[in-house]
Chains A and B, each alone.
Chain A
């Protein structure tokens, strides 16, 4: 497809479980971003990759959150030992170049931790 895709679209996890969320950016896009969107809020930055390099992870809320993009294309956001406060929509976005501000978003993964 032409756009950013994310899977799964919905995920229900029991508290304490580990989850992995996948993002397929637009082909050829250099930059990839992860955001967390809580109910009624705007997306909040988690982390940023330029190709395979993770250049900024200042938004990751705790060391339970880990992201990777080993080949500079697909990215995975992993959350270990999920907690109820992790429940949110996780959005992935990509942009064409290192300096492009225009980010193209995927549909998101809605994570519910019970």
Chain B
């Protein structure tokens, strides 16, 4: 039973445009959400997070939106750059562990 779902395995976006990555969760007890970025042969790198008491958090080109009623969060990257090409994981937590989605591979082309 997957508690955190990323239904799009891949996304392709032109450089300069907006990338929107989506994530759905089932457990209403989750109180903190994070996005990680992963390059091949490297571990995941923390990108941005949001507490369940907020609905938006912004850091430079990255913005995370949380819709608790829909149990949905999204990561917006604008403008997208070729260096953003990676696998993005959504993760959620309510205790000590992080529960990850299966990831979305983002490809930003020129």
Contact = CB atoms under 8 A, between A and B. Distances in A.
Given A91-B43, A101-B32, A56 B97 contact: yes
Given A40-B102, A42-B103, A45-B98, A101 B43 contact: no
Interface string A6-22: 00000000000000000
Interface in B42-80: 42-46, 49
A101 B93 CA distance: 7
Interface residues of B, number: 23
A41 interface: yes
Contact of A55 (B34, B96, B98): B96
Contact of A48 (B34, B97, B102): B97
A65 interface: no
Interface in A83-114: 91, 93, 101-108
A43 B44 contact: yes
A91 B44 contact: yes
Interface string B26-45: 00000010101000011111
A43 B89 contact: yes
A88 to B, nearest CB: 14
Given A33-B97, A55-B96, A42 B45 contact: no
